[in-house]
Amino acid sequence: RRCQCPAGYNGPRCQQTARSFRGNGWAWYPALEMCDNSHLSFEFITKKPDGSLLYNGPIVPPEPDEIMVSGERLFKFFHDNFISVELERGIPRLLIDFGSGTLELKVKPKRTLDDGEWHRLDIFWNTETVKLIIDYCKSADISEPEDGTPPEFNDTSCQAQGTIPPFNEYLNVNAPLQIGGLYVEQFDPTHYKWKHMPVGKGFDGCIKNLFHNSKLYDLAHPGLSRNSVAGCPQTEEICNNQESTFRCWEHGTCVGSFTEARCQCNPGWTGPGCMTPTIPTTFKPQSYVKYALSFEPDKYSTQVQLRFRTREVHGELFRVSDQHNREYAILEIKDSRLHFRYNLNSLRTEERDIWLTAIAVDDGQWHTVRVSRYGSAATLELDGGEGRRFNETFSFEGHQWLLVDKQEGVFAGGKAEYTGVRTFEVYADYQKGCLDDIRLEGKHLPLPPAMNGTQWGQATMARNLERNCPSNKPCANVICPEPFECIDLWNEYDCTCGEGKIPSPDNKGCMDKNECIDYPCLNGGRCINQDPHFRYRCICPDGFWGENCELVQEGQTLKLSMGALAAILVCLLIILVLVLVFVVYNRRRESHIKYPGPDDDVRENIINYDDEGGGEDDMTAFDITPLQIPIGGPIPDMGGKLPPCKIPYTLGPEPNVGIFIEDHKKRADSDPNAPPFDDLRNYAYEGGGSIAGSLSSLASGTDDEQHEYEYLGAWGPRFDKLADMYGPAEESEEED
């Protein structure tokens, strides 16, 4: 089973793999173990040319032993073991002392390592020699003539070797391992008889993936630290600011430098943001997939990663080869063990083979395997690659290039060779197993029948494949004795007690399993055993939570980058300015509008629609003062003042009453505020809105016949004139 880790803890055992320093800090971890053969590796990123990357050695001056010679007291100092790795003007510098003398190794790369990109250092030592390698020696100058001349491999820009001064054979340190800086008391290096002394300048950057003998250090919780934080905020900011990598932490890891970032998906996930699950494929007998690549594989390096599950003890998982199958790299299962073998010489066999001797992979469980080849060096990792799940060969000897035929040399599930027109044979056939998420050089390859092509390659041939990875239903015809139940273990079954139970001492029944015996509750949590269905429950102390109290309760803080904070402030400022402009505009607009008083704002809307003309009243009491046009021409300008309501009394002759009345009459007629007021009325004309008929209908209603209107005289005197108009013409002429 693979651990389900929270964000930021992406080690195989949920370790925190990275730590950041700012030039004035350090962090302490357990000392390096003493071994005959040791391999120490880590990665770092920085833009500063100087800084201490790693130190393991004494942190206080030595205490001398007293020796009495001729009555005089003498002091004797002893060598002490230490190892130091630091950057000096962008060049890595290694100091190591087994107690018999200090060895200094330097490698001058083609470009200094303070370029803001991730770099890897590998340090190997045994009882006699020490070796320092930069970036898998990718920068080495390689020449491999096709005429059979021995190849040339110039590694001066990436590798340095040295011999340990005799006679000590082991690096034996018991002080804390320090990374990112030094916390030591000042002392004279001659006290330890060191020929070289670490500079000890603080490191400004990030360090990650610190391995010693295939054991990954957990950098989350140092024993002691100063000015150092877990993770790498410098690169995480780049990851968080890019849309393509913002959410890849859900099913992947963001691999970023100081300038760019990309998503590295967890096994079983794909897509730009690692949000698409992959679909596995079942390989039946005589099954295989042949690929045609759309990219040119690297000659110096080969990286293969895939997931598989099987019950078979033999089978070929994946292979790449040249046109004639003389140069090849094959990942396969032999005798239930995982092997990676490769040959880089097209003229004769120089095959190398590395395998995992202690792990059987035919257990029906999903496994993730990762193979990395750099020249003639190679590493093999299974399910995270710690301890027995890791193996390597790290020597650059002989040929270093692998020429891959991208049209005919890439296979999964075995290599097919046609024996007839329609018959073929799959050699090293991988059958009754599943494959999923095949990657070559980090690029996802398709797996039919679910997918036949990606941007990196096409499946040109595929035989005897099935979508997904179902079990063959082994419990279908199995009846287990009570109280046991059949459990499908994928293509195998087992009669067990089920989850939360264990067999009784006589193996004839089942009893509750006390999960608290395994101490599942972490960080001081108290375990309470429950019914088999619920298993157990952890009561967590303050500051921790989770099913096993594995999570730390932290105050929820919103972390924003400077760019995001500046954008938010600019948006708030723009919104504030818009609000102010809107308020000022409304106030100026309101000052030019005169609203009627509350007593004049009458809006009686109740109308009796039975009355003739109902519905034609003003129901909203709009101000129609602008519609009132005085009759008789414009009103003379009176300087904006209304005439006085009273006429001052003047002495003089007796006033003429007629003139006085006429004057007031004219004023009343010209007063715009005097009733009756003009109003707007809506009239509906009879026949309005009806469909207009044709003019010809008027003619159709007439005829040339004579009409009689004598009946009009019987209507009374009110209709006499009408009767005279329509009376007979003959009578009128006789009267004349």
**CB neighbours (10 Å) of residue 272?**
13
Looking at the chain, which residues constitute the CATH 2.60.120.200 domain(s)?
A: 18-63+73-231, 278-467
- Is it the case that residue 298 has pLDDT exceeding 80? yes
Q: What is the pLDDT averaged over residues 137-166?
A: 92
3-state SS, residue 430: coil
Question: Is residue 376 a contact partner of residue 151, using CB atoms and an 8 Å limit?
Answer: no
The DSSP string of 250-290 is GTEEEEE-SS-EEEEEPTTEESTTS-EE---EEEEEEEEEE
Q: What pLDDT does residue 533 have?
A: 79
| pLDDT, tens only, 236-275 | 888 888 888 887 878 888 888 898 888 899 999 998 888 9
Kindly tell me if the per-residue pLDDT of 619 is higher than 80: no
**pLDDT confidence of residue 684:** 58
* Structure confidence at residue 595 (pLDDT): 55
Is residue 718 over pLDDT 70? yes
Rounded Cα distance between 26 and 176, Å, is 11
Q: How crowded is residue 549: how many other Cβ atoms within 10 Å of its Cβ?
A: 21
pLDDT(728) > 60: yes
Q: What is the residue-wise DSSP string for 334-379?
A: ETTEEEEEEE--SSS---EEEE-SS----SSS-EEEEEEEETTEEE
Beta-sheet pairing, 433-440 with 281-293: antiparallel
- Which residues 6+ apart lie within 8 Å of 248 measured at CB? 239, 254, 263, 264, 265, 273, 274
In the predicted structure, residue 715 carries a pLDDT above the cut 90: no
* In the predicted structure, residue 65 carries a pLDDT above the cut 70: no
Token couple for 160: 């340095």
* Mean pLDDT within 121-143: 96
Is residue 37 within 8 Å of residue 126, measured between CB atoms?
yes
Residues of the chain with CATH 2.10.25.10: 485-552
Say whether 304 sits in a helix, a strand or coil. Answer: strand
- Lowest-confidence pick of 47-61, 275-289, 655-669, 687-701: 687-701
Residue with tokens 């002759």: 653
> Is the full-model pTM beyond 0.75?
no
Residue 364: Cβ-neighbour burial (10 angstroms; 0-12, 13-18, 19+)? middle
What percent of the chain has pLDDT above 90? Answer: 52
What is the pLDDT at residue 571? 92
∠ Cα 670 673 675 (to 5°): 90
On the 0-12 / 13-18 / 19+ scale of CB atoms within 10 A, 430 is buried
Nearest partner of 139 among 172, 115, 163, 171, judged by Cα: 115
CA angle (185, 186, 189) in 5-degree steps: 120
Strand partners, 282: 434, 466
pLDDT at 371 over 50: yes
Provide CB contacts within 8 A for 113, sequence distance 6+: 44, 46, 87, 90, 91, 92, 119, 134
DSSP 470-486: ----TTTT--PPTT-EE
Which CATH number applies to 485-552: 2.10.25.10, 1.10.287.3510, 3.30.70.980, 3.30.230.10?
A: 2.10.25.10
C-alpha 198/C-alpha 56 separation (Å) is 11
For residues 108 and 99, is the Cβ–Cβ distance under 8 A?
no
Helix runs in 375-461, H state only: none
Which carries the bigger pLDDT value, residue 513 or residue 647? Answer: 513
Rg (CA), the chain: 49
Considering the domain 18-63+73-231, what is its CATH architecture?
Answer: Sandwich (2.60)
Lowest mean pLDDT among 223-237, 318-332, 700-714: 700-714
Burial 320-358 (b: 16+ CB within 10 A, else e): bbbeeeebbbbbbbeeebbbbbbbbbbeeeeebebbbee
Angle of CA points 26, 54, 204, to nearest 5° = 55
H or E segment to which residue 578 belongs: helix 562-591
Reported confidence tier of residue 352, pLDDT bands at 50, 70, 90: very high
Tell me if 159 sits within 8 A of 134, measured CB to CB.
yes
pLDDT in tens, 411-463: 999 998 878 777 889 989 999 999 999 999 999 999 999 999 999 999 999 99
How high is the pLDDT of residue 69? 46
Q: What is the DSSP string of 595-648?
A: PPPTTT--------TTSTTTT-S-SS----GGG---TTSPPPP-TT-PPPSSPP
Prior bond of 12 cis (ω within 30°): no
Find the mean pLDDT for residues 125-129: 95
Which option is the CATH number for 278-467: 3.40.190.10, 2.60.120.200, 3.40.50.1820, 3.30.930.10? 2.60.120.200
Check residues 333 and 348 and name the one with the higher pLDDT: 333
Tokens of 397: 């000897």
DSSP characters over 52-118: EEEEES--S---PEEEEETTEEEEE-----EEEEEEETTEEEEEEE-SS-EEEEE---SS-S-SSS-
Q: What is the pLDDT of residue 149?
A: 86
Which residue in this structure is represented by tokens 């032999």?
334
Instruction: For the chain, report the end-to-end CA distance as a whole number of angstroms.
Output: 133
Half-sphere exposure of 300 (CA within 13 A, CB side): 13
Query: Which 3 state secondary structure label does DSSP give 202?
Result: coil
Residue 297: how many other CB atoms lie within 10 Å: 19
**Mean pLDDT over residues 550-573, rounded?**
75
Does pLDDT of 630 surpass 90? Answer: no
Q: Which residues, 6 or more positions from 195, have their beta carbon under 8 angstroms from its beta carbon?
A: 101, 102, 104
* CA neighbor of 98 nearest in space, from 80, 77, 122: 80
- Report the chain's mean pLDDT, rounded to a whole number: 84
Confidence of residue 367 (pLDDT cuts 50, 70, 90): very high
Return d(Cα 517, Cα 529) in angstroms, integer.
Answer: 9
